[in-house]
A and B are shown apart, each in its own frame.
Chain A
Amino acid sequence: MPLPPAITDLEQLKSHPAIAKLLAWNPVAVEEARFDRDEISIYINRDFIRQACVLLRDNPECPFNFLSDVSCVDWLPQEPRFEVVYHLLSISNKERVRLKVRLDGGSPAVDSVTSIWPAANYFEREVYDLFGVRFTGHPYLRRLLMPEDWEGYPLRKDYPVEGYR
């Protein structure tokens, strides 16, 4: 079964409820969209992620009321280096959407979504712990899994698999 090619043209994806809603609100916020392997990814400008999340959560036609996951990917040596990935789920519509924010490698920071979904608390702390991405507005941004005095961020690609000896 060959894979169908990914759709990256924003015009073709306009019918998706999440993209339609975001485009109607602020076309500048949506940087890119991609439909691949039956999953939709939307790249959001980092300045708008909080408002975009509020908009998607409170959308009456398709409320994304459940934050499944927050994660991060390190694309070293590319710039922007980090991609913070949010997986949202609409329990009533049985629909998933993936939001992505690109961040520079220098001092990566993005707005926290803990005030929208309290579930983000541990997820964001984990990303901070393992990638060193700061979430501004998080009520208690401390290491979650690694010891408090640990140096470095283990899931970054420049961190050796065996750790520093």
Chain B
Amino acid sequence: MAHLTPMPVLEPVEDRTMILNMGPQHPSTHGVLRLILEIDGETVVRMMPDIGYLHTGIEKTCEAKFYQQVVPLTDRIDYLCPLTNNLCYCLAVEKLLGLEIPPKAQWMRVLLNELTRINSHLVWLGTHALDIGAMSVFLYCFREREDILRLFEMVSGQRMMTSYFRIGGLALEPPIGFFERARDFANRFPSKVDEYENLLTGNPIWMMRTKGVAKITAEDALALGASGPTLRGSGVDFDLRRDMPYSSYERFKFKVPISTDGDVFARYMCRVQELRESIAMVQQALDGMPEGPIKADAPKVVLPDREKMKTQMEALIYHFKIITEGFAVPAGEVYQAVESPRGEMGYYVVSDGTAKPYRVHMRAACLANLQTLPTMCEGRLIADVVAAIGSIDIVLGEIDR
């Protein structure tokens, strides 16, 4: 049964147990997660996550910015998948505005989102394996991640905080040579996944540390709000990209890997197979990339081209107005969810008709996924806690916002 009574773990309830503090400065808590454990010997009796060490008040800051100025803030929420955040926010505002996005921009968004997913999963795989003691996987993963970061740098000028999507399309045309570099990477990458799998999947030590560890049933995972690979590892076949498609995902062919075991190994297998599916989608996006504009035809919302600004009066006026006073968004509210590498990422944007959002709320997949941790870990060893934290792939920036 799911963990229903989140009683505070402050004092040991029995004589034989003691309280152990883990984090916030701890190498395997993936940031600044603090766990308060009540332990009996090496067995965890109760657990309480303590969060908030990275709270920056981004939701409040958003209310003081123009709609376009919020995009760079969204990068900083989940810093391992900035483009997914950009996409989710832009889709929400585009839905509020009723904007139609040209096909090339949509396909570029899918292409970059799948690269982001690979990027995020590589960081997860490297650090997860490092936590459990497989040092070399980390180095392998970061070698390929470097290639992806170079691709991001090519399109956006930034390796990590890309802010490449704009409300209404993309910031810039992808540069000459980008697609060749991306295709080169997509051709090389499947053999690299084989390398990671050679190191881990059949490895007896890896299997002993992950199989049957930190189990969670599908009912518990659903009740606790888990999503993404954490939910699919327990056998619930749900992926927003396939089931509630956005940004042309319905045009792509891909399988949604699921596993029914619900343990650390199941979640590992889901993510590793997602790496293969994502690179196949990158291939499809490169093969079928449509031609055409990268920005919507909405002069009051989308910044004009530089060339037009120098030759057309209207373009110059619109540019000045968008930069100085933003653009008004019709009153209303929208909840837009996308499948981030960690699960359902949702943006709830409320507009009161002015140029600044009235409320921006981010539904953080990690926050809900973290709630499954006590259910996974109680009654198991402290060493399994480290494996469990790695397997739900948390990013504290997203949890605390």
Contact = CB atoms under 8 A, between A and B. Distances in A.
Check if A and B associate: yes
Interface string B199-238: 0000000000000000000000011110100000000101
B60 A161 contact: yes
Contacts of B401: 145
A71 B223 contact: no
Given A91-B238, A144-B52, A71 B361 contact: yes
A119 B6 contact: no
Interface string B57-72: 1011101100000000
Interface residues of A, number: 47
Interface stretch (B104-112, B158-166, B284-292, B328-336): B328-336
A108 B68 CA distance: 33
B60 A154 contact: yes
B348 A71 contact: yes
Contacts of B98: 1-3, 37
B55 A114 contact: no
B4 A87 contact: no
B96 interface: yes
Nearest to A127: B361
Interface residues of B, number: 50
Interface stretch (B144-152, B304-312, B316-324, B363-371): B363-371
Interface in A121-165: 121-123, 126, 130, 139-140, 142-147, 154-155, 159, 161
16 contacts: A3-B98, A36-B333, A66-B225, A68-B335, A68-B344, A69-B335, A71-B348, A71-B361, A87-B335, A89-B344, A118-B223, A120-B225, A143-B52, A145-B401, A155-B60, A161-B60
Contacts of A140: 5-8
Interface in B1-19: 2-8
Nearest to A120: B225
A65 B222 contact: yes
A13 interface: no
Given A3-B330, A94-B244, A119-B371, A69 B60 contact: no
A1 B335 contact: no
A119 B3 CA distance: 10
Given A73-B359, A161-B61, A118 B346 contact: no
Contacts of B8: 140, 142
Contacts of A155: 59-60
B20 interface: no
Given A94-B243, A155-B60, A161-B64, A41 B333 contact: yes
